[in-house]
Structure 1
């Protein structure tokens, strides 16, 4: 909460206490205090909800770190820079603000601020914007939410199966995943490892070997992403979770996937193509030997077959 929020709230409380001591019939005596109270309330309303700040601890161990005493400046600065870039890129990818190339769209709200040193293993305390930040759209994932996703991804890459890693990777754009991989690659090159503590949850790599194994699993060569084509029919759409079920004509297998773009109108999708014969191109993502996860990235990737839907689904502007 900002100093201005605190100051205005204190002023409002003080004025309310003063007015409680002045009888209602003394209207002239109350007038100036009531005017100041109305002005303070108006200024507080204009400020809106206070931005909630959350604390993240990013700690390091290994060759560049001297126990709990210090850390090489070049390493510490670069590590925080690469981690911050990963947070910005993952947030842009989840909120639909990233393309295959070009600069990543950024908001001031995705910036991390160093506010102190972390207790224990040497590292940094970083401040991230929470869910009340007005710079976020209503459905956006915040920087705090992204930190949780990255923390989950690092832990799963270190200890999970290929299927479990695929589940987490599926929500992240390949460019964003590459940024997380670059963070691990930098630590590996410096013979260092890291730990993340955020909102009561902590994870740290047990040793450099575990970090190297996680970095290997997230490298481009181990993450398979490609378009795949199917013929069959959509047998279900779930608007709230933005998921679909599709029955493959050749095998009868029913696969599930997510509807990636927020611009796709799911009601139009259902009206035009539910249980109608179609061809569809889906984006397939898998890690290692993990089962693929499917995403419908564009309404134009659905093609009506004879006797099926008459037009492609409209997209929301």
Structure 2
């Protein structure tokens, strides 16, 4: 039994016991003592489960809305499509992390078997599915790569549905384009089928219903992300290794932005003494253009390569 389902059943039993104890006959001392003892045992077990390490991916997708018939059933077509869409999103997040972000829009990614979640139970009270990572090696002390990918998927959905407009825009500016397509397909599937969704992890949950679902839909349903490589000659005016930011002027552009993840902080610090900062260089950027229905076109730049005016490239991805 999954940890989520086990907790759900224990919490439901605890609530039932509290109600029974509240209305029990004070004269039924033995019965009351038995119920109180069972309640203490359940609360102790819930406390123990809370302290356990959760190092493997475990997510529950709980649906409501048009495709769901109370807690009894869910439309098979919608349910299977939703699970498949979520699995593809997690698998892409897994591939993005494993390849340090270098996953293209097309072509094969890392083996889907390595990023496979399994249905291990259903959620009661509404209708949902418990998806877990099955690790034949057993428990481990640190989070698995698949758990990190699942966490990243939920975090991305949380950001694109948040009330914080700036954070939502930043999420679209940073996300891998293939992962964005998966997230867009998943959000559209839930929205277009008039469903709502709660995504529950071990220590948090995300409610994709009402305004939150509408915000996510408006931001991603019609958004277009375009990436292109841009090569410019100019002056590298400044680099902040800690913040991983840069400033560049040249070719009619004044550019500020982020530095690619695979450029080390040590290398960034060396640019100041190489010397490159304050000198003419050729710089290669990844220019991202985001177009959506909620704001104007946004352009961001990521520094991916610096070439001194003479000599070999100082860094290349």
CA distance in 2, matches of 1:148, 1:287: 26
* Aligned partner of residue 287 in structure 2, secondary structure: strand
The one of 120, 123, 131 aligned to 1:126? 131
Q: Deviations over 1:192-215 (max 9, x none)?
A: 1211111311111232x6424412
- Contact residue 129 and residue 143 of structure 1 kept, 8 A: no
CA drift of 1:107 comes to 5.4
Is 1:95 aligned with 2:102?
A: no
CA drift of 1:113 comes to 1.1
TM-score when scaled to structure 2?
A: 0.65
TM-score when scaled to structure 1?
A: 0.65
- Contact residue 64 and residue 127 of structure 2 kept, 8 A: yes
Segment of structure 1 superposing worse, 265-274 or 252-261: 265-274
Segment of structure 1 superposing worse, 86-95 or 97-106: 97-106
CA distance in 1, matches of 2:162, 2:222: 19
Matches within 5 A, 1:5-44: none
CA drift of 1:112 comes to 0.8
CA drift of 1:303 comes to 4.4
CA drift of 1:95 comes to 2.9
Q: Deviations over 1:207-261 (max 9, x none)?
A: 2x642441231246354544455532052252x77x2422325899672303144
Q: 1:252 to 1:292 in 2, by over 3 A?
A: closer
Task: Extract unaligned runs of 5+ from structure 1.
Answer: 1-49
* Aligned partner of residue 273 in structure 1, secondary structure: coil
Q: 1:54 to 1:62 in 2, by over 3 A?
A: same
Partner of residue 44, structure 1: none
CA distance in 2, matches of 1:278, 1:193: 51
For the aligned residue pairs, the C-alpha RMSD in angstroms reads 3.8
- Contact residue 57 and residue 126 of structure 1 kept, 8 A: yes
Partner of residue 11, structure 1: none
Matches within 5 A, 1:256-295: 256-261=257-262, 266=267, 270=271, 271=274, 273-285=276-288, 286=290, 288=292, 289=295, 292-295=299-302
Partner of residue 36, structure 1: none
CA distance in 1, matches of 2:277, 2:147: 37
